[in-house]
């Protein structure tokens, strides 16, 4: 038996696991090096490494190392090797040189000198000259120039071993297969799979982690799917030995085919799921790796069998080629919440290129590893998902709190402030049974109940928001100022706060265009509030509106109930809260259209906060009428909530009373034959045109759409449900 010296190259960070893998394959004298792992063994070992290594890039048969600083030295070093024993007559080859020296600064020049030595040796011995093919050679010569010496070897693997052959399209940000294998190796997945543990990826993308996990669990050699290796064109290739190695691998695969391993993946992007299913089919693993199109928010631990102590592994967006950088911390925090709530007792593994994103997960990592996926450094974080690992909510921006020092009291009440305070208390007593019954945490407490104190007072998770209505011009300025002070003071006493600094106070006037989008301040303070099954950001200080229209609460609940299995369209979508409800209700896809970049970014943050996919629930920045005129898709459920007026820069002038007829024509053209469109407007004294009522089946649902906290102001909005007449007649 002839023993050879080999080098197995691998990505940075993988060497320690590659050394373990090679030792398990029977390698001796295993030494981890900066470029990979050196080891010794016979030719059969090299074949087994090519067939079975899940972690290596290449397996190099070392031919020797020689002093070399110049091009002539490279030529002379190459002449020391008997190339006729390695490069067959008339076959093609290429030289791949890595590294430089003070005299050889161009790798192509250095490779050319080694090539010349090989060709000249064949000529000198009267043999047929081999040809050079840099694209698809029969044999690759590997050379590395470092520290005044060149090491030369035969690349037995050919194309990099991480390319298994099952993945034709890796998506936007593909994870290399051997990196995925290293992640699973570091998490001890091979041993876990033998114990019957499950493997789940809640954001599986092209399913590289799941497929590598399946190959490990099913004892399926990664090299079985490859059509050729580098040694196929090598003069020293032992075909009978290779056939024995391959036959053994096929037998082991057949023996493990009945393994009851549980492997599941989820992703909110239907295209990613389809790509994954194609990859799974190429490996013949349809019965072992099961996928579903499902947002992160909808993922739960399977209950069809006991799946305690499994491995949850995920490679979420990094923000390098996919994902919105501002919303990624929110997505990672939602992932951490899912891991802790649904997978207690499991091991969790998260890959990220940025440690700050790892911190946003909100859980304590017990182990950390680093790998290089191409040029990108990846942090592999492992989590014990037990009771001691408490989840921490990530707050990108914290809102100003109403907490006060002990013993502090508000200033003395004025007569007007006392009136306001008493009305707030009365209103809350009336609303409390409804608030408790419906689990409401954001509601309107006061809406100009006392005419001279004309303001809207809202509660957001205990935080108070005061919006003063503009007083008639006949009211003196001093009286306006005094009345607002009374309102704020009344709110202070109602909430028992010594300072008004924690109350968001704004003056609401009739807006021109889209002035509700204009900044009033720049605090960046945001508060996470809940509405039903979703969470959303509100900003109580920076804009006239907070990001959540409280009066549309019933309409959003209808959309959630009707969205399952449907395609939802949200026009003039604002911060997309209706879309969140549609997504939580089971909408297949959604499209949210708005002209404001600010609010579309807010919408993306809301998606991430809830664990919904931007690919399944897309945001479109556009003038709604322009977009409707060019869109060709059909939607089963549409929400249309336009502004009363709009004359913003970059948009056509809009008046909802004058233009709603044309707008509804455009929107109804996008409604599927059995769909429903909800049209709402806050325009006072709005009248729906007779032509609209003649063309479509229209139900006035205004009364039903007014929530309990707005019952004193039933004209806060108008709302209709529109359907195509032929469908409504068929289902009458």
Residue-by-residue DSSP string for 144-180: EEETTEEEEEEESS-S-TT--SS-S---SSPPPHHHH
Q: Between residues 729 and 382, which one has the greater pLDDT?
A: 382
Q: Between residues 500 and 726, which one has the greater pLDDT?
A: 726
Q: What residues contact residue 711 under an 8 Å CB cut-off, 6+ apart? A: none
Q: For the packed helices 239-255 and 43-52, what is the interaxial angle rounded to 10 degrees?
A: 40
Residue with tokens 């799921």: 273
Encode pLDDT of 640-665 as tens digits.
999 998 765 545 689 999 999 999 99
CB 100 within 8 A of CB 107: yes
CB 528 within 8 A of CB 548: no
> Which range has the worst mean pLDDT, 80-94, 355-369, 486-500?
486-500
Q: What pLDDT, on a 0 to 100 scale, did the predictor assign at position 309?
A: 83
**In the predicted structure, residue 681 carries a pLDDT above the cut 90:** yes
Q: Which of 207, 200, 202 is nearest to 171 (CA)?
A: 207
Q: How does residue 319 score in pLDDT terms, banded at 50, 70 and 90?
A: low
Q: Which helix (H) or strand (E) holds 463?
A: strand 463-469
The whole-angstrom separation of Cα 497 and Cα 502 is 8
CB 607 within 8 A of CB 582: no
Q: Between residues 648 and 197, which one has the greater pLDDT?
A: 197
- Range 529-552 average pLDDT: 93
**In the predicted structure, residue 401 carries a pLDDT above the cut 50:** no
Residue with tokens 């407490």: 445
Which residues of the chain are in CATH 3.30.2130.30 domains? 4-155
The whole-angstrom separation of Cα 686 and Cα 677 is 18
Q: Are strands 36-41 and 28-33 parallel, antiparallel or unpaired?
A: antiparallel
Residue with tokens 């509106």: 545
CB 466 within 8 A of CB 504: yes
The whole-angstrom separation of Cα 112 and Cα 141 is 12
Q: Which of 90, 96, 174 is nearest to 129 (CA)?
A: 90
**In the predicted structure, residue 562 carries a pLDDT above the cut 80:** yes
The whole-angstrom separation of Cα 471 and Cα 487 is 14
Q: For the packed helices 415-438 and 477-495, what is the interaxial angle rounded to 10 degrees?
A: 50
How big is the chain, counted in residues? 732
* Cα angle, residue 389 at apex, residues 383 and 393 outer, rounded to 5°: 100
Q: What residues contact residue 373 under an 8 Å CB cut-off, 6+ apart? A: 11, 175, 176, 179
Q: Which of 625, 639, 719 is nearest to 671 (CA)?
A: 639
Q: How does residue 34 score in pLDDT terms, banded at 50, 70 and 90?
A: confident
Encode pLDDT of 98-117 as tens digits.
988 878 888 899 999 999 99
Q: What pLDDT, on a 0 to 100 scale, did the predictor assign at position 510?
A: 46
CA distances from 222 to 52, 198, 225, 275 (A): 6, 20, 7, 19
State how far Cα 201 lies from the chain centre.
12
Q: Which of 602, 663, 596, 656 is nearest to 628 (CA)?
A: 663
DSSP letters, 655-680, are EHHHHHHHHHHHHHTTEEEEEEEEEE
pLDDT > 70 in the chain, percent: 92
CB 297 within 8 A of CB 167: no
CA distances from 698 to 628, 664, 667, 724 (A): 21, 12, 14, 9
**In the predicted structure, residue 503 carries a pLDDT above the cut 80:** yes
- Range 694-712 average pLDDT: 95
**In the predicted structure, residue 541 carries a pLDDT above the cut 70:** yes
Phi and psi based region of residue 104 (left: phi greater than 0; alpha: psi -120 to 50; beta: remaining): beta
* Cα angle, residue 511 at apex, residues 505 and 514 outer, rounded to 5°: 105
The whole-angstrom separation of Cα 367 and Cα 345 is 16
Q: What pLDDT, on a 0 to 100 scale, did the predictor assign at position 392?
A: 87
DSSP letters, 386-427, are STTS------SSPPPP----TT--PPPPPHHHHHHHHHHHHH
Q: What pLDDT, on a 0 to 100 scale, did the predictor assign at position 521?
A: 65
Structure tokens at 626: 């322009």
Q: Which helix (H) or strand (E) holds 436?
A: helix 415-438
Q: What pLDDT, on a 0 to 100 scale, did the predictor assign at position 641?
A: 97
The whole-angstrom separation of Cα 193 and Cα 178 is 18
Q: What pLDDT, on a 0 to 100 scale, did the predictor assign at position 651?
A: 52
> What is the SS3 string spanning 677-704?
EEEEECCCCCCCCHHHHHHCEEEECHHH
Integer Rg of the chain from CA: 34
CB 484 within 8 A of CB 468: yes
Q: Are strands 36-41 and 4-9 parallel, antiparallel or unpaired?
A: antiparallel
How confident is the prediction for the chain on average, in pLDDT? Answer: 90
**In the predicted structure, residue 172 carries a pLDDT above the cut 80:** no
pLDDT > 90 in the chain, percent: 71
CB 327 within 8 A of CB 610: no
Q: Which helix (H) or strand (E) holds 60?
A: strand 58-67
Architecture field, domain 177-220+256-384: 3-Layer(aba) Sandwich (3.40)
Which residues of the chain are in CATH 3.40.50.150 domains? 177-220+256-384, 529-730
pTM: 0.80
The CATH superfamily holding the domain 415-509 is RNA methyltransferase domain (HRMD) like (3.30.750.80)
CATH of 4-155, one of 3.20.20.150, 3.30.2130.30, 2.60.40.790, 1.10.3720.10: 3.30.2130.30
CB 352 within 8 A of CB 369: no
Q: For the packed helices 577-584 and 553-562, what is the interaxial angle rounded to 10 degrees?
A: 30
**In the predicted structure, residue 138 carries a pLDDT above the cut 60:** yes
DSSP letters, 368-384, are EEEEEETTEEEEEEEEE
Q: How many CB atoms lie within 10 A of CB 12?
A: 13
- Range 356-365 average pLDDT: 93
Q: Which helix (H) or strand (E) holds 537?
A: strand 534-538
Q: What pLDDT, on a 0 to 100 scale, did the predictor assign at position 713?
A: 86
Q: What residues contact residue 306 under an 8 Å CB cut-off, 6+ apart? A: none
CB 137 within 8 A of CB 115: no
- Give backbone dihedrals phi and psi of 503, rounded to 5 degrees, phi first: -100, 125
| Overall fold of domain 529-730 | Rossmann fold (3.40.50)
**In the predicted structure, residue 684 carries a pLDDT above the cut 90:** no
Q: What pLDDT, on a 0 to 100 scale, did the predictor assign at position 520?
A: 64
- Please, what's the b/e burial string for 246-279 (b: 16 or more CB within 10 A of its CB; e: otherwise)? eeebeebbeeeeeeebbbbbbbbbeebbebbbeb
SS3 content of the chain, % helix, strand, coil (to 5): 35, 25, 40
- Range 180-204 average pLDDT: 95
Which residues of the chain are in CATH 3.30.750.80 domains? 415-509
Structure tokens at 235: 């003069």
């Amino acid at each position: 038996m002839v023993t050879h010296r080999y080098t197995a190259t691998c990505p940075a960070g993988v060497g320690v696991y590659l050394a373990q893998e090679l030792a398990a394959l029977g390698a001796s004298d295993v030494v981890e090096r900066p470029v990979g792992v050196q080891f010794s063994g016979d030719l059969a070992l090299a074949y087994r490494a090519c067939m079975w290594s899940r972690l290596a890039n290449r397996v190099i048969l070392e031919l020797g190392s020689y002093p070399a600083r110049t091009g002539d030295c490279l030529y002379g070093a190459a002449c020391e090797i008997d190339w006729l024993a390695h490069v067959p007559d008339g076959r093609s080859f290429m030289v791949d040189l890595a590294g430089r020296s003070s005299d050889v600064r161009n790798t192509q020049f250095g490779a050319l000198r080694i090539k010349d030595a090989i060709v000249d040796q064949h000529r000198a011995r009267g043999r047929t000259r081999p040809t050079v093919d840099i694209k698809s050679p029969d044999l690759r010569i590997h050379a590395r120039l470092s520290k005044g010496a060149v090491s030369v070897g035969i690349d037995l693997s050919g194309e990099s071993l991480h390319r298994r052959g099952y993945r034709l399209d890796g998506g936007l940000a593909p994870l290399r297969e051997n990196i995925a294998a290293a992640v699973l190796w570091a998490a001890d997945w091979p041993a876990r799979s033998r114990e019957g543990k499950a493997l789940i990826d809640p954001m599986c993308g092209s399913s590289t982690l799941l497929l590598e996990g399946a190959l490990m669990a099913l004892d399926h050699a990664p090299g079985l799917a490859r059509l050729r290796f580098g040694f196929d064109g090598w003069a020293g290739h032992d075909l009978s030995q290779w056939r024995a190695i391959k036959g053994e691998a096929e037998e082991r695969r057949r023996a493990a085919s009945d393994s009851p391993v549980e492997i599941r993946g989820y992703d909110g992007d239907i295209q990613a799921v389809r790509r994954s299913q194609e990859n799974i089919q190429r490996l013949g693993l349809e019965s072992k790796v099961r996928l579903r199109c499902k947002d992160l928010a909808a993922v739960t631990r399977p209950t069809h069998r006991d799946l305690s102590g499994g491995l949850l592994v995920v490679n979420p967006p990094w923000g390098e080629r996919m994902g919105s950088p501002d919303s990624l911390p929110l997505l990672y925090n939602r992932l951490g919440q899912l891991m802790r709530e649904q997978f207690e007792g499991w091991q969790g593994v998260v890959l990220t290129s940025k440690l700050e994103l790892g911190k946003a997960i909100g859980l304590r990592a017990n182990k950390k590893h680093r790998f290089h996926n191409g040029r990108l450094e990846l942090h592999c974080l492992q989590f014990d998902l037990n009771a001691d690992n408490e989840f921490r909510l990530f707050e990108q921006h914290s809102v100003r709190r109403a907490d006060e020092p002990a013993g502090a009291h508000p200033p003395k009440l004025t007569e007007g402030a006392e009136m306001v305070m008493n009305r707030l208390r009365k209103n809350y007593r009336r609303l409390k049974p409804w608030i408790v019954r419906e689990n409401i945490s954001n509601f309107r407490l006061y809406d100009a109940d006392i005419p001279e104190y004309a303001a809207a007072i809202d509660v957001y998770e205990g935080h108070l928001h005061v919006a003063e209505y503009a007083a008639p011009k006949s009211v003196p300025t001093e009286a306006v100022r005094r009345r607002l002070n009374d309102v704020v003071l009344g709110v202070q006493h109602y909430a028992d706060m010594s300072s008004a600094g924690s109350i968001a106070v704004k003056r609401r006037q009739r807006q021109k265009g889209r002035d509700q989008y204009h900044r009033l301040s720049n605090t960046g303070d945001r508060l996470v509030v809940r509405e039903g099954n979703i969470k959303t950001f509100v900003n109580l200080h920076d804009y006239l509106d907070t990001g959540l229209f409280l009066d549309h609460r019933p309409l959003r609940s209808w959309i959630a109930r009707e969205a399952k299995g449907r395609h939802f369209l949200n026009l003039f979508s604002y911060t997309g809260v209706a879309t969140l409800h549609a997504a939580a209700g089971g909408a297949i896809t959604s499209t949210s259209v708005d002209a404001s970049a600010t609010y579309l970014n807010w919408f993306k943050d809301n998606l991430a906060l809830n664990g919904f996919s931007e690919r399944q629930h897309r945001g479109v920045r556009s003038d709604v009428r322009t977009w409707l005129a060019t869109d060709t898709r059909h939607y089963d459920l549409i929400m249309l909530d336009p502004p009363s007026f709009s004359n913003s820069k970059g948009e056509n002038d809009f008046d909802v009373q004058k233009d709603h007829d044309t707008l509804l024509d455009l929107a109804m053209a996008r409604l599927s034959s059995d769909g429903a469109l909800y049209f709402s407007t806050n325009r006072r004294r709005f009248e729906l045109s007779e032509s609209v009522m003649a063309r479509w089946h229209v139900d006035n649902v205004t009364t039903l759409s007014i929530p309990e906290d707005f019952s004193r102001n039933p004209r806060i909005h108008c709302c209709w449900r529109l359907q195509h007449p032929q469908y409504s007649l068929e289902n009458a």
